[in-house]
């Protein structure tokens, strides 16, 4: 049996769990929601790739799947975060391996049951020794954390191509001029709220409203979603029919195709944005041994 076959026999289809105690790097004292880290998979894989027009496979690699979770309203930083982080690696023979690499740019948050979760993939820097029975990973993850915040309520006319430029939430450099007008300093970041394809239709005897609602910005901002409101500021049940986000070096735009049952006598669109603001990154210590049957814990004395 060759070296790769031995390693595959020892590690393929392993599953491991490691809960790291979270240490807040700052923030308010009441913020006690820890970030939890769970190693959900570990196994040997080859990557398929095209080189000079021909399919080829990469050398065998030891890969890890790591799940991060935190209680809402906390969440994780922008998916455009492209940081790479490392954990020290040692196998059961005592051999120190090249550090394992984790790409935080693959962190795509999802919400479920009051928890926000994100999965990150990692790759061992090199394969363990042929007779190794486990690999130990040790170090600290610096997890980019954000908080979900509600914007003020905005209004747009129910027109086909309505739009309005507004100060972005969180900008405090506004000055009120006499007569109640808002004067925007050049340093105040603004965004363009807009409607497209705004119209009504009938469904099961009910009047429905459909539209594309969007936001465009030329400064740092991280939109999560829109919430449609009635005149009492209650959130309407809204169906999302798709959307997207695009960006270049100076501009970013979000669009969301929405439809909902139109309230009686609706004269304008009332809505708010749920957006993310960064807080101090969370340091999560990790010290775990991963073997054929998952995490190997020290026996209690």
Q: What is the 3-state secondary structure (H, E, C) of 160-224?
A: CCCEEEEECCCCCCCEECCCCCEECCCCCCEEEEEEEEEEEEEECCEEEEEEEEEEEECCCCCEE
In 3-state terms the chain splits into helix, strand, coil percentages (rounded to 5) of: 5, 55, 40
| Average pLDDT of the segment spanning 238-246 | 90
Residue 191 is predicted with a pLDDT of 95
How many Cα atoms occupy the beta-carbon half-sphere of 160 within 13 Å?
0
Summarised one tens digit per residue, pLDDT across range 192-218 is 999 999 999 999 999 999 999 999 999
Tell me how far apart the alpha carbons of residues 88 and 248 are, in angstroms, rounded to a whole number. 36
Tell me how far apart the alpha carbons of residues 17 and 38 are, in angstroms, rounded to a whole number. 5
Give the residue among 223, 246, 238 at the shortest CA–CA distance from 270. Answer: 238
Tell me how far apart the alpha carbons of residues 8 and 15 are, in angstroms, rounded to a whole number. 14
Summarised one tens digit per residue, pLDDT across range 83-97 is 899 999 999 999 999
Domain-by-domain residue ranges, the chain?
3-144+281-295, 149-277
């Amino acid at each position: 049996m060759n070296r790769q076959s031995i390693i595959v026999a020892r590690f393929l289809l392993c599953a491991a769990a490691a809960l790291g105690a979270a240490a807040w790097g700052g923030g308010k004292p009441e913020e006690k929601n820890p970030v939890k880290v769970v190693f959900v998979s570990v196994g040997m894989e080859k990557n398929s790739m095209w080189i000079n027009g021909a399919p080829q496979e990469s050398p065998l690699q030891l890969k890890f799947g790591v799940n991060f979770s935190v209680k809402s309203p906390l969440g994780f930083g922008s998916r455009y975060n492209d940081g790479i982080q490392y954990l020290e690696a040692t196998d059961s023979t005592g051999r120190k391996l090249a550090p394992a690499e984790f790409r935080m740019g693959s962190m795509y948050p999802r919400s479920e049951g009051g928890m926000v979760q994100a999965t990150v993939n990692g790759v061992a820097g090199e394969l363990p020794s042929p007779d190794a029975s486990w690999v130990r990973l040790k170090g600290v993850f610096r997890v980019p954390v954000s908080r979900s915040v509600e914007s003020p309520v905005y209004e747009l006319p129910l027109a086909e191509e309505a739009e309005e430029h507004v100060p972005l939430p969180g900008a405090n450099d506004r000055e009120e001029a006499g007569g109640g007008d808002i004067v925007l300093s050049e340093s105040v970041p603004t965004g363009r709220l807009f409607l497209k394809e705004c119209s009504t239709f009938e469904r099961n005897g009910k009047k429905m409203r459909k539209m594309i609602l969007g936001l465009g910005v030329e400064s740092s901002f991280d939109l999560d979603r829109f919430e449609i409101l009635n005149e009492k500021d209650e959130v309407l049940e809204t169906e999302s029919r798709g959307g997207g986000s695009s960006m270049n070096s100076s501009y970013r735009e979000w669009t969301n195709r929405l439809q909902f049952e139109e309230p009686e006598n609706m004269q304008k669109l009332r809505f708010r944005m749920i957006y993310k603001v960064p807080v101090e990154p969370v340091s999560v210590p990790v010290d775990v041994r991963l073997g054929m049957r998952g995490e190997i814990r020290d026996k209690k004395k």
